[in-house]
A and B are shown apart, each in its own frame.
Chain A
Amino acid sequence: MREIRYLSVAAEGPAIRALQADTDATYLAGGTSLLDLMKLEVLNFAQLVDVNAIPLTKIEVSNDGARIGSMVRNSDLALHPEIAARYPLLSEALLSGASPQIRNMATVGGNLLQRTRCYYYRDPSTACNKRNPGSGCAAIDGYNRNHAILGTSDHCIATHASDMCVALAALDAVVHTQGPGGERHIPFAEFHRLPGDHPEIESVLQHGELITAVSLPPPTGLRQSRYLKIRDRASYAFALSAVAAALRIEGNLIRGARIALGGVGTKPWRAVEAEQALVGKPANRATFTLAAAETVRGARTRPHNAFKVELTRRAVVRALSTIRGAS
């Protein structure tokens, strides 16, 4: 047994100070990803600072939007009546992920930092730049069916695994943090980093920075939405391709659109060009098909994941055309 230090804290200050004092410490929230990876000795922190006792568990919904505490469990968030009513995209995405048991443990803050399911990342005997910087990437020429086609680099093609994050990307969420340098409010699109030359750095969080909440702007025009997750079995599997889509249709014209993708990007993937291709156009299959093509423009595929390009195009068309009000 590798002995680690464990500290449970009940407030943000002590949590941040504990990490400031130990560069080899990390926060423990639901633990559904962290503990798994520590058992595999993929992650080897010397200290865990348990933040489960910090009361960041409120869900506040008003006409100004929503603010969700970082320690809210995925299942509580998904089934919150006002979230389900005003942000159905988020509820659907959450409920499509993992299993009820895992959702009961997993937190909003933890899910923002969910690790990839790349087989090689999870196997310390193989080369992985994300796990062991500079060691290479065994996935690029290995088995890469589940890997990313968007946002990849020559050093990493690992897929971001979260469903919740796909919905948050579409909903223009803001991540609120508290850290040694004070508070920060990070737009969702800036929160995760592309792998580039440093796939080991997955977000803009600094050491010791604690996620305290995620806020959502009012869902104006975003209630007509759809989260479509395509996978190899009916439940409890990671996405081969997932689409979070929302449309605001007035008359027969699209006045607002949001599209984000999961299962295909190295980070939760907001498809801005595709959204632009929709706005001002009639809500019909021809428009959706054009927009779908935009979502995968620039995709870089490997032998086993090349099908994701066509699958994603079709998934985007399906998601858009099954939004209520779209034809």
Chain B
Amino acid sequence: MKKIGPPVDRVDGPLKVTGGARYAAEVPVARVAHAVLVLSTIARGRITGMDTGKAERAPGVLAVITHKNAMHLPPQPTRETRASQGDHVLQLLQDDHVLYNRQPIAIVVADTFERAQHAAHLVAVRYEAAPVDVDLLRTRTAARAPHPPYHGTVAQTLPVESRRGDVAAALAAAAVRVEEVYTIPAETHNPMEPHATIAVWHGPTHLTVYDSTQGVFEDQRKLAASLGLPRENVRVISHYIGGGFGTKGAVWSHVPLAAMAAQKVGRPVKLVLSRPQMFGPVGARPQIEQRVVIGAGRDGVLAAIRHEGRSSVSQFDQFCEHFTAPTRALYKCPNLDTTERVVSLDIATPCQMRAPGEVTGTFALESALDELAVKLAIDPLELRLRNYAETDPETGRPWSSKSLRQCYQTAAEKFGWSRKKPQPRSMVDGKLLVGWGMATATYPANVRPASAIATLFADGTALVRAGTQDIGTGTYTVMTQVAADALGLPVEKVRFELGDTDMPETPTSGGSCTAASVGSAVHQACLGAREKLARLGNGGGADPSVDEPFAAQLARHGMKRIEARYDAKQLETRDRYAMRAFGAQFVEVRVDPELGEVRVSRAVGAFAAGRILNAKTARSQLLGGMIWGISMALHENTVYDPKLGRIMNNDLSEYLVPVNLDIPAIDVLFVPEDDPYVNEIGVKGVGEIGITGMAAAVANAVYHATGRRIRDLPITLDKLL
């Protein structure tokens, strides 16, 4: 396998561009009825009355389900008893409490979508509303420690506090000190495809669900548990997903509600969230406030870092973005305190959003380091090199591989960083101010147990299956490549199938773990199939393809097929090494000094993330991440009405993300990296790292352009007037 895999076109590309790829809501299901959610219009209180008569009498309506007539469910997990990171506390019409604005409070089912939608408008609700508290920066509610980690095993559950050395003493003795507060508003996931579910019952105890999900097995587990079914009675299918970004990483209320509705009307039910319904009940990045204190010598060598902050969470569930995680890992620093706190507000539960923790933490840390560099008059890149961590600063373990130095060098060279004039407002283009900024990117190399089955056929083709998902990242394509490589076949001879709980179990696609985890399983399953064939004899060694194609071997043995399954294990080297992907982001902005308008005019990112399976799909991931980082820096802001607790900018006209004109040509550079320890195929994953560091690089560039340090995202023009 090459370090940088060939840019194979997406194997599912032709299906996608011709409409042949069926997304969850497009799966043809006979007699399907259409459901529309009714969402609360208050953020806290009780439902005192619901008039459903008009809706029930509306043409085509099959059922209006509320807490009065909903199926009675077995006890549901609470924030104290939940089983895993994805085990959200749901609102399944079991009582009259309202806990956040746009909480599902009824579901209307009709024979057509339009009729269901209109009938949903006809449901009249009376509330007893209580005052709400939704703004992290204005709340008087005290921050508290997050709830203890979930029961069961969750790869990404990290400590919310860490201490090393003596920060207070080191700060007191430090020659220079930076202490600043950085804030990030709630951000809302907006995958092109909204959440969509079709629920089909086969008798009273067996359920099939077509769902747009990042985790078919998590879906299966949660559906079974919430509905009181044995897990094996639930099958979840998810063949194509139009983006997830974390919001589809776990089951939200609408998924079991679709199943409940289908049971009620005795027909399959399709439920698709509208774009405004994406703003509330299906997660968001929490509001986060972070304080970073850095003490350093005049030479820029770090003496101490204190990184503490608080993030918003709902009143009834738990979630904590581990925004201090990158600070624990990025730089050599003998004294470190990190603390993560949460504040319960009258909002829906936040959840993972692309590079949770790493993206928010690097905004604060990499901004603060830039402030330190300014204070010391040291080049920001040089400052980072002076504090380069040759081993993991937290554990002292060696890195399985780390090529950050090469990333800095590659990106800086491409960008022309050495031509930077250090003074703010010193670079201009006509009347516009030009600013250059940089930041470090990082994301952990996650691997979770995954399984796969490889089948070799006598016609010389192979089929490889794993339950995993392709959330738009290119899983179909890269797994086909991994299998073809292990089998010594051209990619055209290999078919990879995914997205079905009837296939071997795999992890939820989140935390950049799919390529590494499923890829390793696919690789091993394919090697297993070859070995099995080899053991049949006549040919001897473990590498039969050298002498004889496997089709010929199968034919010789009179076999139509041979199959091998592999159940991936955590590699034991994972305990001996620290494992992360790293990168360097360089950004140029142009700022109108009078009007405050900021446009990114150039960006270069260089990344070392182990083996790159496909240069094309990997580039797309990194590019998409970098673009989202620009969006986070300049545009995204989920706005709550302070009294209603309702998200008011609930569509893509008012919730701003960049348009083409906002995004310049972006250079994505790969730094080749060979990592024999991280997993069987040496892959670290590229889904998340592209966004990390980016917001800080933009903010640092804005400072360089204007001399104004903006610590509150997004950097809108009013902050620069």
A236 part of interface (Cβ distance < 8 Å): yes
Task: Report A-chain residues with C-beta under 8 Å of the C-beta of B716.
Answer: 232
A5 at the binding interface (Cβ < 8 Å): no
Residues of B within 8 A of A190 (CB): none
In angstroms, how far is the closest chain B Cβ from the Cβ of A156? 16
Do A138 and B635 touch across chains, with their CB atoms under 8 A apart?
no
B718 touches A311 (CB 8 A): yes
- Verify if B232 is at the interface (C-beta below 8 Å from A): no
Known contacts A1-B59, A142-B642, A314-B721; is A119 also within 8 Å of B117 by CB?
no
A311 to B719, CA, bound (A): 11
Cβ–Cβ < 8 Å partners of B648 in chain A: 119-120, 123, 142-143
The minimal Cβ–Cβ distance linking A196 to chain B, given in whole angstroms, is 25
Judge if A157 is at the interface, Cβ distance under 8 Å: no
Q: Does residue B653 face the partner (Cβ distance < 8 Å to A)? A: yes
B641 on interface, CB distance cutoff 8 Å: yes
Query: Is A198 interfacial (CB-CB < 8 Å)?
Result: no
Q: A1-B114, A143-B639, A233-B635 are in contact. Are A240 and B653 (CB under 8 A)?
A: no
In the complex, which residues 131-148 of chain A have their Cβ closer than 8 Å to any Cβ of chain B?
A: 138, 141-143, 145-146
B121–A142 touching, CB < 8 Å:
no
Q: Chain B 612-637 against A: per-residue CB contact (8 Å), 1 yes, 0 no?
A: 00000000000000000000001100
Q: How far is the CA of A141 from the CA of B642 in the complex (A)?
A: 9
The answer to whether B721 touches A240 (Cβ under 8 A) is no
CB distance from A237 to the nearest CB of B (A): 6
CB distance from B296 to the nearest CB of A (A): 36
> Is B485 part of the binding interface, using a Cβ–Cβ cutoff of 8 Å?
no
Contacting residues of chain B (28-66) with chain A, CB-CB under 8 angstroms: 41, 59-60
Q: How far is the CB of A50 from chain B (nearest CB, A)?
A: 19
Complex CA–CA separation, A54 to B648 (angstroms): 38
Asked if B121 contacts A310 (CB within 8 A), the reply is no
The secondary-structure label for the interface of chain A is loop
Q: Is A318 among interface residues, defined by CB-CB distance under 8 A? A: yes
B594 contacts A310, CB within 8 Å? no
Interface string of A214-236 (1 = CB under 8 A from B): 00000000000000001011111
Q: In whole Å, how far is B573's beta carbon from the nearest beta carbon of chain A?
A: 46
Min CB–CB distance A148 → chain B (angstroms): 16
Residues of A within 8 A of B646 (CB): 123, 125-126
State which residues 99-121 of A face B: CB under 8 Å. 117, 119-120
Of A3, A119, A141, A310, which one neighbours B649 at CB under 8 angstroms? A119
Verify B659–A314 contact, CB threshold 8 A.
no
Question: Would B641 and A1 count as touching, CB distance under 8 A?
Answer: no
User: Does residue B717 face the partner (Cβ distance < 8 Å to A)?
Assistant: yes
Q: Is B115 part of the binding interface, using a Cβ–Cβ cutoff of 8 Å?
A: yes
A142→B114 CA distance, assembly (Å): 32
In the complex, chain B residues whose CB is within 8 Å of the CB of A126: 41, 641, 644, 646
Please tell me if B112 contacts chain A, counting CB pairs below 8 Å: yes
A6 in the interface (beta carbon within 8 A): no
Provide the residues of chain B in CB contact with A318, threshold 8 Å. Answer: 594-595
Q: Cβ of A24 < 8 Å from any Cβ of B?
A: no
- CB of B654 within 8 A of chain A? yes
Which residues from chain B contact A119 at a C-beta distance below 8 Å? 648-650, 654
- B569 at interface, CB cutoff 8 A: no
Distance in angstroms between the alpha carbons of A233 and B646 in the assembled complex: 24
Asked whether any CB of chain A lies closer than 8 Å to the CB of B79, the reply is: no
A60 CB–B CB distance under 8 Å: no
> Which residues of A sit under 8 angstroms from B142, Cβ to Cβ?
none
Whether A125 and B41, one on each chain, are in contact in the complex, defined by CB atoms closer than 8 angstroms, is: yes
Q: Nearest chain-A residue to B597 (Cβ)?
A: A230
> A125 CA to B129 CA in the complex, in Å?
14
A143 x B641 contact (CB < 8 A): yes
How far apart are B527's CB and chain A's nearest CB, in angstroms? 49
A168 close to chain B: CB less than 8 A = no
| Contact between A234 and B599, CB atoms less than 8 A apart | yes
Instruction: Provide the residues of chain B in CB contact with A310, threshold 8 Å.
Output: 721
List A residues 267-298 near B (Cβ within 8 Å). Answer: none
Docked pose: A142 CA to B647 CA in angstroms: 11
Q: Tell yes or no: B658 within 8 A of A by CB.
A: yes
A24 to B250, CA, bound (A): 46
With A1-B115, A232-B635, A236-B659 as known contacts, state yes or no: A314 contacts B594, CB within 8 Å.
yes
B143 within 8 A of A: no
Beta-carbon contact of A315 and B718 below 8 Å: no
Contacts of B654 in A (CB 8 A): 117, 119, 146
Q: Cβ of B3 < 8 Å from any Cβ of A? A: no
- Bound Cα distance A20, B634 (Å): 50
Residues of B within 8 A of A124 (CB): 121
> Quick check: is A41 within 8 A (CB to CB) of the other chain?
yes
Q: Tell whether, in the assembled complex, residue B721 and residue A1 are in contact, meaning their CB atoms are under 8 Å apart.
A: no
Whether the pair B717, A233 counts as a contact (CB closer than 8 A) is no
Set of chain A residues within 8 Å of B41, measured between Cβ atoms? 125-126
- B-chain residues with CB within 8 Å of residue A2 when the two chains form the complex: 118
Shortest beta-carbon distance, B83 to chain A, in Å? 35
Bitwise, B111-141 to A at CB < 8 A (1) or not (0) is 0101101100100000000000000000000
Residues in chain B near residue A307, CB distance under 8 A: 718, 721
In the bound complex, how far is the Cα of B635 from the Cα of A232, in angstroms?
Answer: 7
Docked-complex contact B59 and A237, CB < 8 angstroms: no
CB distance from B270 to the nearest CB of A (A): 16
Instruction: Mark out the residues of chain B between 671 and 721 whose CB falls within 8 Å of any chain A CB in the assembled complex.
Output: 716-718, 721
Instruction: Report the minimum CB–CB distance from B247 to chain A (whole Å).
Output: 22
Q: Which 8 A-B pairs have the closest CB atoms?
A: A1-B114, A125-B41, A307-B718, A234-B661, A119-B648, A235-B661, A234-B662, A2-B118
Please, could you name 28 A-B residue pairs with CB atoms under 8 Å apart, sorted by A? A1-B112, A1-B117, A1-B118, A117-B653, A119-B648, A119-B650, A119-B654, A120-B648, A123-B648, A138-B641, A138-B643, A141-B642, A143-B640, A143-B642, A143-B648, A232-B716, A233-B635, A233-B656, A233-B659, A234-B658, A234-B661, A235-B661, A236-B659, A240-B717, A311-B718, A317-B594, A318-B594, A318-B595
Sample of 4 more A-B contacts, CB < 8 Å, known A233-B656, A237-B656: A1-B112, A234-B658, A235-B660, A310-B721
Residues of chain A whose beta carbon lies under 8 Å from any beta carbon of chain B: 1-3, 41, 117, 119-120, 123-126, 138, 141-143, 145-146, 230, 232-238, 240, 307, 310-311, 314-315, 317-318
